[in-house]
Amino acid sequence: MLTERQALILKVIIDEFIETAQPIGSRNIAKREDVAYSPATIRNDMADLEDDGFLSKTHSSSGRIPSEKGYRFYVDHMMSPLQLSNDEVRLVQSQFDDRMIEMEKVMQNSAHILSELTQYTTLVLGPEVYETKLKQLQIVPINKQSAIAILVTDTGHVEHRSFAVPSEIDHSDLEKVVNILNEKLVGVPIIYLDRMIESEVIDLINRYTSNFQKSYDLIQKALFNHQTTSLYVSGKSNILMQPEFNDIEKARSLFNVMESEDQIAPILKTNQEGLKISIGHENEMEVMNNCTLITATYTLGENQIGTIALLGPTRMEYAKAVSLLDLWSNHMSQSLYRWFND
Partner DNA sequence: AATTAGCACTCGTTGAAGGTGAGTGCTAAC
Partner DNA sequence: GTTAGCACTCACCTTCAACGAGTGCTAATT
Residues lying near its own copies in the complex (CB under 8 A): 98-102, 105, 135-136, 138, 140-146, 148, 150, 152, 154, 156, 158, 160-164, 221-222, 236-237, 240-241, 245-246, 248, 251-252, 255-256, 258-259, 338-342
Among DNA, its own copies, none, what binds residue 163 when CB lies within 5 to 8 Å by partner kind? its own copies
User: Is there a contact between 290 and 244 (Cβ–Cβ < 8 Å)?
Assistant: yes
Among its own copies, DNA, none, what binds residue 27 when CB lies within 5 to 8 Å by partner kind? DNA
Among DNA, its own copies, none, what binds residue 1 when CB lies within 5 to 8 Å by partner kind? none
Nearer to DNA, 11 or 43 (CB): 43
d(CA 10, CA 62): 16
Nearer to DNA, 57 or 133 (CB): 57
Among DNA, its own copies, none, what binds residue 189 when CB lies within 5 to 8 Å by partner kind? none
- Is 96 in a helix, a strand, or coil? coil
Nearer to DNA, 63 or 126 (CB): 63
Nearer to its own copies, 40 or 248 (CB): 248
Q: Which of residues 7-36 bind DNA (CB under 7 A)?
A: 23-28, 36
Mark out the alpha helices in the chain (DSSP H runs).
4-20, 26-31, 39-51, 68-73, 86-95, 103-118, 171-185, 193-196, 202-206, 210-223, 238-241, 248-259, 261-269, 318-340
Among its own copies, DNA, none, what binds residue 58 when CB lies within 5 to 8 Å by partner kind? DNA
- Indicate whether 4 belongs to the interface with DNA (CB under 7 A): no
Length of the chain: 342
Among its own copies, DNA, none, what binds residue 253 when CB lies within 5 to 8 Å by partner kind? none
User: Is there a contact between 340 and 154 (Cβ–Cβ < 8 Å)?
Assistant: yes
Give the shortest CB-315-to-DNA separation in angstroms: 16
Question: For residue 9, what are the contacts with CB-CB under 8 A and spacing of at least 6?
Answer: 29, 35, 42, 45, 46, 49
> Residue type at 193?
L
User: Is there a contact between 273 and 297 (Cβ–Cβ < 8 Å)?
Assistant: yes
- Indicate whether 5 belongs to the interface with DNA (CB under 7 A): yes
- Is 147 in a helix, a strand, or coil? strand
User: CA 288, 291, 297: angle at the middle one, nearest 5?
Assistant: 90
Binding string, 44-83, against DNA, x = CB under 7 A? Answer: x-xx--x------xxxxxxxx-------------------
Contact residues: DNA, CB under 7 A: 5, 23-28, 36-41, 43-44, 46-47, 50, 57-64
